[in-house]
Amino acid sequence: MAKTPLKLIESGEQAVVINAQDKFVCTAMINPHTLIAGRVISRREGNFLSEKLLKKRLLLARSLRDRLYDKPFYRMVYGDSDAFPGLVIDRFDDSYIVQISTSGMEQFKGVIVDCLHNSLGAERVIIKNDGKMREVEGLDSGVELSGPSIERLRVVENGTTMHCDPLGGQKTGWFYDHRENRQWARKLAKGKRVLDLYSYVGGWGVQMLDAGASEVTFVDASESAIEMARENAESVGGADVPARFMQGDARAVLHQLLEANEKFDMVIVDPPALIPRRKDVPPGERAYQKINELALRLVDASSADGGVLVSASCSMHLPAERLQLLCNQAARKNDRLLRQLFAGTQGADHPVLPSVPETRYLDCFGFQVLQPY
């Protein structure tokens, strides 16, 4: 077998990878211009990604989710975990949103769309290729629609019906990864005053309202996200829903609420990734500690039951035990005691490959917040 210099391989081409002893390792999609030069397609010799294999893997991915969830709202394809390096597909009933982030998978874009329509019954497929990794891979950005146009997509999560913006929203428009964590938080929301930081379109806060929260305050920097959160809250609680909406930077709004001497029974902290790269760990950890420190100052810990802090991180470079420690340090600065009630991660529709630790990125803790003994 002839050895091929990496620079002679076209971006996105599939190749056989062998080790120094000329032993087969895998077949992979190659991009000689990126730091991750090869992405595994198969560990079976002679197995290359084809239209037939792609269709088989898509059907397997959907079959797993249909076993996990009783309604057709979930992440159907989660990249490497479903043997599709650089491909994400979220399902919203008969609508599918596709994101492609590698040059190898880009070559199968048409096949993916056809398969979703013809084999999985999709009414519409939205190709939303606006992720940062596309530029690294040398790919253009843009949005394409196959099927009838739509401005809002319906989402049903934990029994609550909401909507998202598939075209103008972040990523695929929704974040399914916190489904199980939100389900846990619903148990403690009834009759409580809730603050939802980084609320986006209300995935957390609207479900707390639906679970019986007495009031929810939504905070997000995006005007369009806040308006969508308002729509979702009103769809659950009507025009007089006990909710308020504050647009602005989360830390600035926290200071504003502190100056007004406000208190909440539950505060939810679910920021975007504050540690996008390994080199960002030190400032990112300080940012996580600071936002939780400010949030804890707003938690009412005066009752016998105390308050609740829900703190999450989607930073792959922040291990769960570090987030736990940062929250505890924030509590000590506020003279508060934390008792961990819950530890969660990404939902089962975002399966983790133990051999690829990068597929695990989400952590969520639920703490009871008490005054010190």
The pLDDT of residue 132: 78
Q: Are 239 and 230 in contact (CB under 8 A)?
A: no
The pLDDT of residue 5: 76
The pLDDT of residue 137: 86
| 243 CA to centre of own chain | 24
The Cα-based distances of 228 to 162, 169, 206, 347 in angstroms read 9, 10, 11, 24
Domain ranges in the chain are: 9-42, 51-146, 155-370
Query: Which tens digits make up the pLDDT trace of 292-303?
Result: 999 999 999 999
Query: Which tens digits make up the pLDDT trace of 95-139?
Result: 999 999 999 999 999 999 999 999 999 999 999 988 778 888 888
The pLDDT of residue 136: 83
Q: Are 276 and 315 in contact (CB under 8 A)?
A: yes
Categorize the per-residue pLDDT at 2 as very low, low, confident or very high, splitting at 50, 70 and 90.
low
Q: Convert 261-274 to b/e letters by CB count within 10 Å (16 or more is b).
A: eebbbbbbbbbebb
Greater confidence (307 vs 35) lies with 307
Instruction: From the candidates 26, 115, 164, 314, give the one annotated as an active-site residue.
Output: 314
Query: Considering just the CA atoms, what is the radius of gyration of the chain in Å?
Result: 22
- Tell me the mean pLDDT in the region 66-87: 97
Indicate whether 7 pLDDT > 90. Answer: no
Query: Which tens digits make up the pLDDT trace of 330-343?
Result: 999 999 999 999 99
The pLDDT of residue 3: 67
Query: Which tens digits make up the pLDDT trace of 264-274?
Result: 999 999 999 99
Indicate whether 201 pLDDT > 90. Answer: yes
| 225 CA to centre of own chain | 16
Q: Are 95 and 76 in contact (CB under 8 A)?
A: no
Q: Residue 67 contacts by C-beta under 8 Å, 6 or more apart in sequence?
A: none
Tell me if residue 115 is catalytic. no
The pLDDT of residue 8: 82
Q: Tell whether the torsion through CA atoms of 349, 355, 359 and 360 is positive or negative.
A: positive
| 161 CA to centre of own chain | 18
Task: Please state, as a whole number, how many other Cβ atoms lie within 10 Å of the Cβ of residue 299.
Answer: 24
* The CATH number fitting domain 155-370, selected from 3.40.50.2000, 3.30.310.80, 3.40.50.150, 3.40.50.12780: 3.40.50.150
Tell me how far apart the alpha carbons of residues 352 and 247 are, in angstroms, rounded to a whole number: 35
**Phi, psi at residue 165, to the nearest 5°?**
-100, 105
User: Exposed, middle or buried, 151 (CB in 10 Å: 0-12/13-18/19+)?
Assistant: exposed
Please state, for a pLDDT cut of 90, what percent of the chain lies above it.
90
CATH superfamily of 51-146: RNA methyltransferase domain (HRMD) like (3.30.750.80)
Q: Are 287 and 250 in contact (CB under 8 A)?
A: no
